[in-house]
A and B are shown apart, each in its own frame.
Chain A
Amino acid sequence: MLDALLSFLILTGAIFTFIGSLGLVRLRDFYTRLHGPTKATTLGVGSLLIASSLFFSTRGEGVSLHEVLVTLFLFITAPVSAHLLSKAALHLKLHSLAPLPQGERSESSGPNRSTVSQNSERDAQ
């Protein structure tokens, strides 16, 4: 019974982590590619960690809650890195499938990423 549950969790984790990475290949611009690794991977790693916690807790050596910390740090770091990557992409004016909203600075649309170092001013909030 426990083995079945563990296998289910590990398989689910592996599948979602795989789908997250697959998103890098299948999606078509930088911004949409960001979504795969930040989200699908969270659930994947989450189920793997639950499986790990269950396995080590049921071996008679006391509960194992290391994994809660891993989850916590993952939830703090994954969004921050996604945000920074996305912000850097806006600076570099990478080609985007979605039009930038009116009033945003990098609205000179199109797939040119020529003026890279032009302004790195005021975003040092």
Chain B
Amino acid sequence: MRRWLPHPLIALALAAVWLLLANRFSPGHILLGLVLGVAISRFGARFWLEIPRVHRPLLLLRFIGVVLSDIVVANLAVARRILGSPERLRPVFVRVPLALTSDLAISLLANTICLTPGTVSSRLSPDRAHLLVHALDAADATELAATIKRRYEAPLREIFEP
């Protein structure tokens, strides 16, 4: 089982991508998708350095929900600031200290930061201890860093590094 299916999640995800690409959900396509998923995840296994493990799947779903709703809020906020007067924006750089260590968790955090409220992640320090974040309009930089840590980093840590 382990030998033939080293990464069941990746195999399932690949099958889902195949079905979406084909845009048809007939039994034949489902079978073809599963065959492709198993074959690709098996042959590609040696290329992945670090195999991500999801420890809390339900929390991951909740996290995705939170991020999706935050994306809508962030869009409205950024649109309002663009239409408002740009002279009154208070852009800042914030250094967010990282507690995450795995590659996947850090890149997910950086991606989330880019998609949500008025922030873009700019640089990961070489020792991976800090993430430099640029905020479009922030009254309080320390408060912003605390929000990022509480709202996004804490759940990611529980999901991938319990």
0 or 1 for each of B117-139: is its CB under 8 Å from A? (1 = yes)? 01011111010100010111000
| Contact across chains for B20 and A75 when beta carbons are under 8 A apart | no
Residues of chain A within 8 A of B12, CB atoms compared: none
| Contact across chains for A40 and B23 when beta carbons are under 8 A apart | no
Asked whether A5 is an interface residue with its Cβ less than 8 Å from the other chain, the reply is no
0 or 1 for each of A65-98: is its CB under 8 Å from B? (1 = yes)? 1101100000110111011001101100000111
A40 contact from B79, B89, B126, Cβ within 8 A: B79
Complex Cα distance, B111 from A50, in Å, reads 22
| A-B residue pair count with CB separations less than 8 angstroms | 129
Residues of chain A within 8 A of B111, CB atoms compared: 75-76, 79-80
Q: A43-B71, A82-B120, A97-B91 are in contact. Are A27 and B82 (CB under 8 A)?
A: yes
Asked whether B110 is an interface residue with its Cβ less than 8 Å from the other chain, the reply is yes
Asked whether A28 is an interface residue with its Cβ less than 8 Å from the other chain, the reply is yes
Residues of chain A within 8 A of B132, CB atoms compared: 90, 101, 104
Q: A39-B78, A78-B115 are in contact. Are A64 and B134 (CB under 8 A)?
A: no
Contact residues, B1-51 vs A (CB, 8 A): 17, 20-21, 23-25
Asked whether B75 is an interface residue with its Cβ less than 8 Å from the other chain, the reply is yes
Tally of B interface residues using CB under 8 Å? 41
CB distance from B105 to the nearest CB of A (A): 15
Residues of chain A within 8 A of B21, CB atoms compared: 66, 69
| Contact across chains for B110 and A79 when beta carbons are under 8 A apart | yes
Residues of chain B within 8 A of A82, CB atoms compared: 114, 120
B122 contact from A64, A66, A80, A87, Cβ within 8 A: A87
Asked whether B66 is an interface residue with its Cβ less than 8 Å from the other chain, the reply is no
Contact residues, A96-124 vs B (CB, 8 A): 96-101, 103-104, 122-123
| Contact across chains for B17 and A31 when beta carbons are under 8 A apart | no
Complex Cα distance, B133 from A35, in Å, reads 12
CB distance from A30 to the nearest CB of B (A): 10
Further contacts, 20 of them, CB under 8 A, given A75-B111, A79-B121: A19-B83, A20-B82, A26-B82, A31-B122, A36-B78, A39-B71, A43-B71, A65-B20, A66-B20, A69-B17, A69-B20, A78-B114, A86-B120, A86-B121, A86-B134, A87-B122, A87-B123, A101-B94, A104-B93, A104-B132
B binding-site residues for A, Cβ under 8 Å: 17, 20-21, 23-25, 71-72, 74-76, 78-79, 82-83, 86-87, 89, 91-95, 110-115, 118, 120-124, 126, 128, 132, 134-136
A binding-site residues for B, Cβ under 8 Å: 16, 19-20, 22-23, 26-29, 31-32, 34-36, 38-40, 42-44, 46, 62-66, 68-69, 75-76, 78-80, 82-83, 86-87, 89-90, 96-101, 103-104, 122-123, 125
